[in-house]
Amino acid sequence: MLSIAICDDEKNVCEYIEKRTVECLARADEEANMQVFYDGAELFSVCRENPSAFDIIFLDIKMKTINGVECAKLLRETGVQSLIVFITSSAEYVFSGYEVKAFRYILKTDLVNAFDRVFGECLTELRKSITDFFTVKTASEVRNVPLNDILYFESNRRVLIIHTQKGEITFYGKLDDIQKELDKKDFIRTHQSFLVNALKIKSVKKDSAELLNGVTLPVSKSRATAVKEAYLWAKR
């Protein structure tokens, strides 16, 4: 199920986007939780606690307390990777979106005509991110786990644990084999016991890496440079 945020200080605009989103979801046979904000600071507060809270954020640029560009910068600095769609009343703000990797923008004067197309493009992009899977065989089943859901792998001798955004999966294997399988898939070995999804790293220090969910993992001295490079590359 998707999670969508709508942030605009105009109530009627929020209501319109919410209505159109429901219609688009129904046609696409998708479901979503939606949360409406009338203030960018309130949206940022929620995302600071949980950077993975939303898949899509519809964000007004011109708001009273904090404008959308400033809010988006704070979100990106916090590690938020959501698709950001700027809603703007003026084309002069469009180029500001490049700074914060905005996915799309919609002029309010074109909202009626452009919304369905942009929402469809958001769904297409999100579906791309979950087409890659890691197949894991446990004692009771075989599962395909979307790589985008995986935070990191942990090894305790022959026991491996996949830490995902939805829980843990335990199975038997070798972390070296998993590392080879996920080569070129944005996974980096931070330590002998940890293989981390670089896209889920919030920040890297000299001997540790903090993930988007707040977990801090060790970074061995010999791997520090490679971890930092993987983190920076994944954020591009």
What the chain holds in terms of domains, given with CATH numbers, is 2-129 (3.40.50.2300), 133-234 (2.40.50.1020)
pLDDT (0 to 100) of residue 94: 62
pLDDT at 131 over 70: no
pLDDT band at 151 (very low <50, low <70, confident <90, very high): very high
pLDDT band at 97 (very low <50, low <70, confident <90, very high): low
| Percent of the chain at pLDDT exceeding 70 | 94
pLDDT (0 to 100) of residue 157: 84
Task: Read off the pLDDT of each residue in 38-65 and give the average, rounded to a whole number.
Answer: 91
> Mean of the per-residue pLDDT values for the chain?
90
Encode pLDDT of 196-216 as tens digits. 999 899 999 989 999 988 999
pLDDT at 15 over 60: yes
The three state secondary structure string of the chain is CEEEEEECCCHHHHHHHHHHHHHHHHHHCCCEEEEEECCHHHHHHHHHHCCCCCCEEEEECCCCCCCHHHHHHHHHHHCCCCEEEEEECCHHHHHHHHHHCCCEEEEHHHHHHHHHHHHHHHHHHHHHHCCCEEEEECCCCEEEEEHHHEEEEEEECCEEEEEECCEEEEEECCHHHHHHHCCCCCEEEEECCEEEEHHHEEEECCCEEEECCCCEEECCHHHHHHHHHHHHHHCC
For the ranges 15-19, 26-30, 104-108, the maximum mean pLDDT occurs at 15-19
For the ranges 92-101, 124-133, 179-188, the maximum mean pLDDT occurs at 179-188
pLDDT (0 to 100) of residue 65: 81
pLDDT (0 to 100) of residue 96: 64
Encode pLDDT of 223-235 as tens digits. 999 999 998 887 5
pLDDT at 98 over 70: no
Question: For residue 197, what are its two tokens?
Answer: 């999804």
Task: Read off the pLDDT of each residue in 28-42 and give the average, rounded to a whole number.
Answer: 93
Task: Read off the pLDDT of each residue in 59-83 and give the average, rounded to a whole number.
Answer: 89
Task: Read off the pLDDT of each residue in 115-119 and give the average, rounded to a whole number.
Answer: 96
